[in-house]
Amino acid sequence: MKVLLVEDDAALAEALGEALTDAGVLVEQAATGGEADFLVRTERYDAVILDLGLPDGDGSRWLAEWREDAIELPVLVLTARTRWSDKAAGFSAGADDYVTKPFETAEVLFRLHALVRRSHGHAHPLLRIGELAFDTHTGSVTLAGRPVSLTAQESRLLAYLAHAAPRVVSRSELAEHVYDRDHEPDSNVIDVQISRLRRKLGATCIETRRGRGYRLVDGDAAS
C-alpha cells in the first residue's frame, strides 16, 4: 500500500511516517498543500493522509479541489480541530474518514486499511482467494489455515494483488503502488518477488497474463 502523508509538522510527519513504514506501508510525504496537490495529480497512491492545518491553506480546501477534479482516492483526514463544525467541514469537502489528534498509530492504520479495502469494493476485512486468506488489518496471510511468513515487500505486493483480485494488475501499476517512486524497480525485481511468492503460496496462485500483468486466482480451481 502506498500512501501520501500530507503533514506540515516535521516531527509528526517523521514519527508517523516511520510508524507506518514499520507497519509495512509505503509512505511518501508532502509538507504543504501545493506539494500534495502536485503529487496527487502525478503519482498513484492507495490513500492520502491529510492534515487539515496546512501552511498554504486549509486541508479541506485542497481536498474539495481534488474531489471537484474527480480525484477519488481515499482520504483520511488528520485533525487537531476541537470544534465539530470544523470537522464537519472536512466531511463536506469529501474526506472518507478522520482521526483526531492526538491519535494512536494503530487507529490510523486501522482506518487506512479499511479505507483502501473499501475503495476496492471489499466490505469484509478478511480477503479470501481460494485457500489463501489475507487479513487487511493485520497484514497476516494464511494458506489453508496455516500462517505464511512474508517479507515486507512481498506482503505489500500480495496485499495489492489481493485487494485488486480478481482484476489483472499490470506491472507498471504494481510498481507504482508497491514501490517507492525514487526506487522504481526494473521489471526484474517484480518477477523475482512474484516467483518468491509463488514458492511460498503455491505455483498456481498467481497467474501471469502475458503482456497484461498478474492476478491472484483460486489456485485449486485453476489447476
Please state the φ and ψ torsions of residue 149, each to the nearest 5 degrees: -95, 125
* Spatial separation of the C-alpha atoms in residues 36 and 152, rounded to whole Å: 26
- Among 2, 87, 117, 156, interactor with another protein by CB under 8 A: 87
**Residue 164 in 3-state DSSP?**
helix
CB atoms within 10 A of CB 14: 13
The residue type of 215 is R
Give the interface segment with another protein, choosing from 80-88, 141-149, 173-181, 208-216 (CB under 8 A): 80-88
**Binding to another protein by residue 68, rule CB under 8 A?**
no
* Shortest CB 28 distance to another protein, Å: 17
Residues in 150-179 that interact with another protein by CB under 8 A: none
Strand partners, 76: 49, 97
136, amino acid identity? T
84 forms part of the interface with another protein (CB under 8 A): yes
Minimum Å gap between C-beta 108 and another protein is 9
Distance CA 3, CA 20 (A): 9
Residues 1 and 160 sit within 8 Å (Cβ to Cβ)? yes
Applying CB under 8 A, which part among 18-26, 29-37, 127-135, 145-153 lies near another protein? 18-26
Phi, psi of 73 (to 5 degrees): -70, 150
Question: What is the nearest approach in angstroms of another protein to the Cβ of residue 111?
Answer: 10
Verify binding: residue 85, another protein, rule CB under 8 A: yes
Alpha-carbon distance values, 213 to 67, 70, 121, 175, 194 (Å): 30, 26, 21, 11, 11
- Within 96-115, the residues that bind another protein by CB under 8 A are 96-107, 110, 114-115
Does 19 bind another protein (CB under 8 A)? Our answer is: yes
Chain residues in the site for another protein (CB under 8 A): 9, 11-12, 15-16, 18-19, 22, 53, 80-85, 87-92, 95-107, 110, 114-115, 118, 123
